[in-house]
Structure 1
Amino acid sequence: MECISSSLIIVNPFKIMASSSFIFLWFILLFNASISYAFTGTYGVNYGRVSDNIPSPEDVVKLLRTNKIKNIRIYDADHRVLNAFKGSGIEINVCLPNELLKDISVNEALALEWIKLNVQPFLPDTSIRGIAIGNEILGGDIEISEALVPACKNVYRALKRLHLADLIEVSSPHSEAVFNSTYPPSAGAFKESLMPYLGPLLHFFNQIGSPFYINAYPFLAYKFDPITINVNYALFQPNAGIDDPKTNLHYDNMFDAMVDASYVALEKLGYKKMPVIVSETGWASKGDDNEAGANVKNAKTYNFNLHKRLMLKKGTPYRPKMVVKGYVFALFNENLKPGPTSERNFGLFNHDGSIAYDIGFKGLVPSSASSKDSILRGRYLSSKSLLLVACATILLLFTEL
Structure 2
Amino acid sequence: MAKSSPSFFSILITATFLLLASVLTKGVEGTIGVNYGTLADNLPPPSKVAHFLQDSTIINRVRLFDAEPDILEAFAHTGIALTVTVPNHHIPNLTNLSFAQQWLEDYVQPYIPATNVVRILVGNEVLSTANKSLIVGLVPAMQTLQTALVGASLDRRIQISTPHSLGILSASSPPSNGNFRQGYDTHVLKPLLSFHRATNSPFMVNPYPFFECSTDTLDYALFRPNSGVFDENTKLLYTNMLDAQLDAVYSAMKLLGFDDLEIVIAETGWPSLGDSDQIGVDANSAAEYNGNLMRHVQSGVGTPLMPNRTFETYIFSLFNEDLKPGPTWERNFGLFQPNMTPVYDIGILRSTAAAAANPNLHHVICLLAISVGVLILNNHG
TM-score, structure 2 length as denominator? 0.86
Aligned partner of 2:48 in structure 1 is: 59
Distance 1:363 1:343 in 2: 27
Q: Which deviates the most, 150-159 or 289-298?
A: 289-298
Alignment partner of 2:119 out of 125, 130, 133 = 130
- Deviation for aligned residue 1:324: 2.1
- SS of residue in 2 equivalent to 1:177: helix
Q: How does 1:303-314 map to 2 (within 5 A)?
A: 303-314=290-301
Deviation, structure 1 residue 91: 0.5
Aligned positions of 1:180-219 closer than 5 A: 180-195=170-185, 196-219=187-210
Aligned twin of 1:373? none
SS at structure 2 position matched to 1:163: coil
Which residue of 74, 92, 95 maps to 2:64? 74
Whole-angstrom distance in 2 between the partners of 1:295 and 1:169: 36
Structure 1 residues 164-196: Cα deviation after superposition (integer angstroms, max 9, x where no partner): 111111000000110001111101111003232
The answer on whether the counterparts of 1:139 and 1:194 sit within 8 Å (CA) in structure 2 is no
Q: CA deviation at 1:24?
A: 1.5
Q: What is the SS of the residue equivalent to 1:83?
A: helix
- 1:6 maps to none
Q: How many equivalent residue pairs?
A: 356
Shift of 1:197: 2.1
AA partner of residue 151 (structure 1): A
RMSD: 2.8
Q: Cα gap change, 1:176/1:36 in structure 2, threshold over 3 Å: closer, same or farther? A: same
Alignment match, 1:157: 147
1:289-368 equivalences under 5 Å are: 289=276, 291-362=278-349
The alpha-carbon deviation at position 102 of structure 1 amounts to 1.4
Q: How many angstroms does 1:356 deviate by?
A: 0.6
Which blocks of at least 5 consecutive residues in structure 2 are unaligned? Answer: 353-358
* Structure 2 counterpart SS, 1:306: helix
Where do 1:33-112 residues align within 5 Å?
Answer: 33=23, 35-36=25-26, 38-40=28-30, 42-65=31-54, 66-105=56-95, 107-112=96-101
TM-score by length of 1: 0.82
Which residue is 2:137 aligned to? 147
In structure 1, how many angstroms separate the alpha carbons of the residues matched to 2:190 and 2:289? 33
Rounded Cα–Cα distance in structure 1 between residues aligned with 2:6 and 2:160 = 47
Amino acid at match of 2:93: D
Q: Shift of the alpha carbon at 1:201? A: 1.6
The question of whether the paired residues in 2 share the 8 Å contact of 1:87 and 1:125 is answered with yes
Letter in 1 for 2:316: F
Aligned counterparts of 1:164 and 1:361: Cα–Cα separation in 2: 31
Go from structure 1 to structure 2 and tell me whether the alpha carbon gap of 1:333 and 1:16 turns closer, same or farther (over 3 Å shift). farther
CA deviation after TM superposition for structure 1 residue 212, in Å: 1.0
Letter in 1 for 2:85: C
Task: For residues 329-352 of structure 1, give each alpha carbon's deviation from its aligned partner in whole angstroms, at most 9, with x where no partner exists.
Answer: 001001111122111100001121
CA contact (8 A) 1:50 1:337 kept: yes
Given the superposition, is the C-alpha separation of residues 202 and 333 from structure 1 closer, same or farther in structure 2, using an over 3 Å criterion?
Answer: same
CA contact (8 A) 2:58 2:350 kept: no
What is the CA-CA distance between 1:22 and the residue it aligns to?
6.2
Paired with 1:291 and 1:152, the residues of 2 have a C-alpha distance of: 40
Alpha-carbon separation, structure 1, partners of 2:288 and 2:333: 13
2-structure distance, mates of 1:220, 1:230? 11
- 1:54 counterpart SS class: coil
Q: Report 1 or 2 for greater relative contact order, CA contacts < 8 Å, sequence distance ≥ 6.
A: 2
* Structure 1: runs of 5 or more not aligned: 1-14, 365-369, 371-376
- The offset of 1:161, in angstroms, is 0.3
**Aligned pair partner of 2:228 in 194, 216, 241:** 241
In structure 2, the residue matched to 1:177 is 167
Q: 1:355–1:363: 8 Å Cα contact kept in structure 2?
A: no
- Secondary structure at 1:327's aligned position in 2? strand
Structure 1 residues 16, 129: CA separation in 2 closer, same or farther (over 3 Å shift)? farther
Q: What is the distance in 2 between the residues matched to 1:293 and 1:231?
A: 7
Task: Give secondary structure in 1 for the equivalent of 2:285.
Answer: helix
Question: 1:282 and 2:251 equivalent?
Answer: no
| Structure-1 separation of matches of 2:117 and 2:340 | 24
* Distance (Å, rounded) in 2 between the aligned partners of 1:269 and 1:263: 10
Structure 2: how far apart are the matches of 1:362 and 1:38? 11
Equivalent residue letter for 2:91: L
Identity of aligned residues (%): 38
